[in-house]
Amino acid sequence: NPEENTIMFSSSLQNQYQKQLEGQHNFFRNCRPTTARFNIVRRLTAGLSKLYQQLYENQNALHANARLDRSFIKDFIKPYEMLAHRYRVINKIGRGTFSQVVCAEDTYYPVRHLVAIKIMAPQFNSIGIQESKTLLYLNLHADSDNIHLVKISNTFMFEGHFCMVLDYYEGGVPQLPRISNEEYRLQVLRKFACQLLITLMYLRKWGILHADLKLENIIRTKATSLDLRVIDFGSAMRIDEVHVYFNTFEAQTLAYRAPEVIMGLPFGIEIDMWSFGCILCELWLGYPIFYSSSKHGVLREIEKLLGPLPDSVYRYGKFFSYYKARPDGGIRSSTGIEDQNMLRIERICRVLKTQDINFVNFVDYIFNCDPSKRPTPSECLFHPFFAPLFPFKLLFDSHLVTAAIRTAFVNGNNDQGYWHDDNDSLRTSHNTKSNLNGIMRIYDD
């Protein structure tokens, strides 16, 4: 009977297909462990998740097993979509572990006005809220155009996502011109460095660490401009919060991480200065100076350039014994080694491929492995490397000028501070913003 044969044949095919499925299921079940599931997002952000869970556990803002929704990263926002009945999305301009950034048009303006909107994943809304509070606090107390911080203009919720409206900058990551004229490249580097130091001076004044300074978090306002803005304050912390981060979280991106952070020492504002030095060298070289995929490798690169880390400082680190026993010899004591300064200068000259002694000395000045001896931003501004920008410094006692800078910016006392005006004379200033306007005029010339 043809019908019976067809039924028997179909039944046979179905049985064979079922056996194949069972065989594949058993194969894959035996090939992967059933106990520990691998979650790449959780592995990459484990420290951050623990940190922010501790900081916001009372608010119940994060879940222990939070993971990113891939549809949020890929397809959540569509072009021409309206956010908050005001911002018309144009295109996506970036994304990260916690958020994505879109370029949008603010329709409340009579002329075309572009903004950048940072949209947080719902699991990490608390990180965005904390970042917005930090930016609002900093913007409130400063003229951001002179302090070189990104401006925040609005916040809102959109379908469970916390959103921040920021100024839109189209210049991209800063780069030095690829020309053979070393002096011109150094002058551009000075102007970039000066702006970053002004930002660090301001953060230091208000007791805030950026804690994730890197070249990707610095952007030019326009493609043809040397004006910079520091962005991404998602990891920023106050000085009185450092102990919480110290116990649960490794601050800074690895290639820009200060040795005291790697070694598990209590850290402070000095770690931002280390990152600043790494950025300076990366701008000059075109690649990170301490690049490695592991903490061992970063320490090895630091010691190859700067010499052995001092035992007297790092023996108290949580991970000192671990790194001391590493295969490449660990941290070697510098006790008894005489005059390593010249050797270190020669190595820096060779790595940076420059003979400009002021630049080499400035890099060596910043990369002090003893955090207590690392220079402050205001002290760096009066290094001879910046003499072409501030020639008046050579005419006056540097201690007096540095003291004035500390009074105006570090201690927050603006009653009296000395600065440089358009007539190349010292004058008394009663306002920090006017001081910054003066410095901006100098290096914009």
> pLDDT digits over 292-337, tens only?
999 999 999 999 999 989 888 999 888 888 777 665 555 554 544 5
Q: What average pLDDT does the segment 356-360 reach?
A: 95
- 304 appears as a binding residue in the annotation: no
What is the predicted pLDDT for the residue at 94? 87
Catalytic residues, by residue number, are: 212
Q: Which CATH architecture has domain 182-388?
A: Orthogonal Bundle (1.10)
What is the predicted pLDDT for the residue at 246? 65
What is the predicted pLDDT for the residue at 243? 76
For the chain, which residues make up each domain, given as ranges? Answer: 41-167, 182-388, 390-445
Res. 261: pLDDT tops 90:
yes
In one-letter notation, the amino acid at residue 272 is D
Sign of the torsion angle spanned by Cα atoms 140, 141, 146, 150: negative
Q: Do domains 41-167 and 182-388 have the same CATH topology?
A: no
- Mean pLDDT is lowest, of 74-88, 102-116, 129-143, 428-442, for 428-442
Q: What average pLDDT does the segment 281-290 reach?
A: 97
Percent of the chain with pLDDT over 70: 65
Q: Copy the structure tokens of residue 389.
A: 């920008």
What is the predicted pLDDT for the residue at 348? 95
Whether the model pTM is above 0.75: no
Q: Which CATH architecture has domain 41-167?
A: 2-Layer Sandwich (3.30)
